[in-house]
Amino acid sequence: MTGIGEGPELIQLDDVDAGYSHHPVITDVNFHVHEDQFTGIVGPSGAGKTTLLRLLLGTLKPMKGRITQSAGLRMAYVPQLETVSWNFPVTVRECVLMSRKSANQLPWASKPEKLQVAAVLERLGIGELADRHIRELSGGQQQRMFLARALLRQPQIMLLDEPTSGVDVSTRHDVLHLLADLHEEGVAIVLTTHDLNGIAAHLPHLVCVNKRIIASGTPNDVITPDVLEQTFGARMEVLEHLGIRIVVEEGPHIGALGGSV
Amino acid sequence: METLLEPLQYAFFQKGLLVAALSGALLGFIGVYIVLRGMSYIGHGLSHSIFGGFAAAQLFAANFYILGAGLWGIASALAITAVTKRSRLGADAAIGVITTASFALGVALFAKFGSSGPSFENALFGSILGISPQQIYGLIAVCILTGAFVFLRYRALLFSTFDPEVAAVSGVNVSRIEAMLMIVLSLAILATLTIIGVTLVAAMLVIPAVIARMLTDSFGRMLIYSTVIGLFCGLVGMYLSYYAGVPSGTMIVLVGAALFLIVLAFTGGRGLRRSAGLDAHTDASALAPVIR
């Protein structure tokens, strides 16, 4: 799988403007997500990354344009960690069980559902934390729990909002590998990130956003000084190491400030 | 023992005790969702809003004032939900305007035309006198309806309370669940209004749930504890009301407040940590973009 989007289309955004309280945040969006896609949406804070994600999720109605989802599409969403109250009275297992199939609304889970939860928690490496209260988890463990909750839905497409924000390097590494494995298993992945070197440079396909889509393509296509300047509003230098693009921010040199670090 | 048995010889007290226990349990049960959703202020506002409907419905349909007040309450609940989602006015301000206006209307109507049902004071602070069999049947029906709603929509209710955005993506119709919860809440307030009183219903929605949260980290146990605590407050409050000669709602709430202090003393910092952030979670207006 190339990850750049060549299979059947799952979601189509055509000529879309969107925002909140009649103020557009992002305009002229034409973005199609394919079955084999693995895309990172890159941009600075306030650029419209989460808005674009919400359009794909269908939780935000466009002001203009058309959004089409393939019929019966199974989606899973991993939000930013700070969107929920971690003091909410549930254990890790109870939290993951929330996303079990809609048909079962009753207070207790079926045996197959319990086995499924145990399996996804093991896969995420947090099986032994199943009965812990969610407040007791570290940032990385909270992120894994959100991923487990998303995996329980056996999605065709997984959308993640800053999945590596606030987690350590090891968890970031594990999350990226898990997403790569899921993609290999046929799950389309779309995530937002502002981490160019840690995340974006390692993905097969990127979309650079700042109030509109600035550029779209492989990291080699879009991680260029010109595109980055248009996206982030600052000139950046781009190096290449072992085939991976590395972005270096241009700024005052420490030595030039007279420091002796 | 005689202290417990003596009031039971009166039929009005037997009925009052039953209604107080059921009211406490019902408000404690539904209060868990209200508190965890950060909707305490909505419960407060709604009880005041229903008071306006109560007064107006008595004027225009004396024999069906409960029905009229119920419809008013449901309309208020849905209006509050809609305003908090769509209005540019802040949620608190919107609720404040709608519900206090309705309450003021109720006060004005009571002052001008009097009442063919409960007196002004009884409606405000609760009373065990004059409880009709229809009120008892109505309360039992609301208890059954609320229990059935929570049982049959447990997952959707829990998911949309914890994480409405992901719940919506996962196939939960969050708007519908929220509207149904508001309807059940307004029915619960209406059914308990005469025993607890308009001004104190909101307290019984909040106090048992907060005490239960201080005692446990489990959602299932919180539901059970809060219901039992509400029931306990209803029972003890009724006896104290009888012996002290003060309105029933007042004593029920005071028992709840005393229990809160006792639990706080025993659980200390752990209880406070558990209950921290109960009022900060899920501002309804912030959810506006995520509800389908």
pLDDT greater at residue A203 or residue B248:
A203
Residues in chain B closer than 8 A to A58 (CB atoms): 169, 292
pLDDT of residue B156: 92
Task: Determine the pLDDT at residue B167.
Answer: 93
**Average confidence (pLDDT) over B119-124:** 70
- Of A123 and A243, the structure prediction assigns the larger pLDDT to A123
| For residues B66-77, average pLDDT | 76
Lowest mean pLDDT among A12-21, A111-120, A238-247, B279-288: B279-288
Q: Give the domain-ending residue among A132, A152, A172.
A: A152
A150 to chain B, minimum CA–CA distance in Å? 9
- Residue A227 resides in a domain: no
The mean pLDDT of B52-60, rounded to a whole number, is 72
Q: Tell me if A257 is assigned to some domain.
A: no
What string of H, E and C letters represents the secondary structure of chain B?
Answer: CHHHHHHHHCHHHHHHHHHHHHHHHHHHHHHHHHHHCCCHHHHHHHHHHHHHHHHHHHHHCHHHHHHHHHHHHHHHHHHHHHHHHHCCCCHHHHHHHHHHHHHHHHHHHHHHHCCCCCCHHHHHHCCCCCCCHHHHHHHHHHHHHHHHHHHHCHHHHHHHHHCHHHHHHCCCCHHHHHHHHHHHHHHHHHHHHHHHCHHHHHHHHHHHHHHHHHHCCCHHHHHHHHHHHHHHHHHHHHHHHHHHCCCHHHHHHHHHHHHHHHHHHHHHHHHHHHHCCCCCCCCHHHHHHHCC
pLDDT of residue A158: 95
- Which of these three, A95, A121, A152, is where a domain ends? A152
In a domain, A166, yes or no: yes
Out of A11-15, A108-112, B161-165, B176-180, least confident range: A108-112
pLDDT value at B75 more than 90: no
Cβ contact (<8 Å) for B217 and A89? yes
- Shortest Cα distance, chain A CAs vs residue B162, angstroms: 7
Interface contact flag, B170 A94, Cβ < 8 Å? no
User: Which pLDDT score, from 0 to 100, does residue B213 have?
Assistant: 93
Do A46 and A169 belong together in one domain?
yes
Distance from CA of A98 to the nearest CA of B (A): 6
Size of interface A-B (CB pairs under 8 A): 98
Q: Report B:90-119 residues touching A (Cβ under 8 A).
A: none
Least confident span in A181-190, A196-205, A229-238, B83-92 = B83-92
Q: Which strand (E) or helix (H) includes residue A51?
A: helix A49-57
- What is the structure's pLDDT at B288? 36
pTM of the entire predicted model: 0.84
Confidence check: pLDDT of B142 > 90 = yes
Query: Quick check: is A137 in a domain?
Result: yes
Q: Are residues A146 and A159 in the same domain?
A: no
**Residue A9 within a domain:** yes
Asked if residue A251 is part of any domain, the answer here is: no
Q: Are residues A64 and A188 in the same domain?
A: yes
Query: Is residue B69 scored above 60 in pLDDT?
Result: yes
Q: How confident is the model at residue B116 (pLDDT cuts 50, 70, 90)?
A: low
User: Chain A contact for B151, CB < 8 A?
Assistant: yes
For residue A111, the enclosing domain spans 85-152
Q: What average pLDDT does chain A have? A: 87
Nearest to B292 among A59, A85, A88 (CB): A59
Same domain for A95 and A70: no
- Provide the CATH number for the domain around residue A3: 3.40.50.300
| Counted domains in chain A | 2
Determine, yes or no, domain membership for A53: yes
Do residue A17 and residue A64 come from a single domain?
A: yes
Residue contact B151–A57, C-beta within 8 A: no
CATH code, residues B2-290: 1.10.3470.10
Query: Where does the pLDDT of residue A245 fall: very low under 50, low under 70, confident under 90, or very high at 90 and above?
Result: confident
Using CA atoms, how far apart are residues B119 and B133, in angstroms rounded to an integer?
Answer: 18
State residue B286's pLDDT score.
36
Q: Are residues A7 and A69 in the same domain?
A: yes
Q: So what's the pLDDT on residue B174?
A: 92
B172 contacts A102? CB cut-off 8 A: yes
pLDDT of residue B226: 97
Instruction: Kindly state the average pLDDT of the residues B261-282.
Output: 73
Q: Mean pLDDT over residues B157-183, rounded? A: 92
What pLDDT score was predicted for residue B206? 93
Q: Is residue A115 part of a domain?
A: yes
Q: What is the mean pLDDT of residues A198-221?
A: 90
Answer whether B155 touches A (CB < 8 Å). Answer: yes
Give me the pLDDT at residue A251, please.
61
Is the predicted pLDDT of residue B181 greater than 70, yes or no? yes
For residue A166, the distance in angstroms to the closest alpha carbon of chain B comes to 19
| Choice among A186-190, B117-121, B149-153 with the minimum mean pLDDT | B117-121
Alpha carbon separation from B177 to B2, B137, B171 (Å, rounded):
47, 26, 12
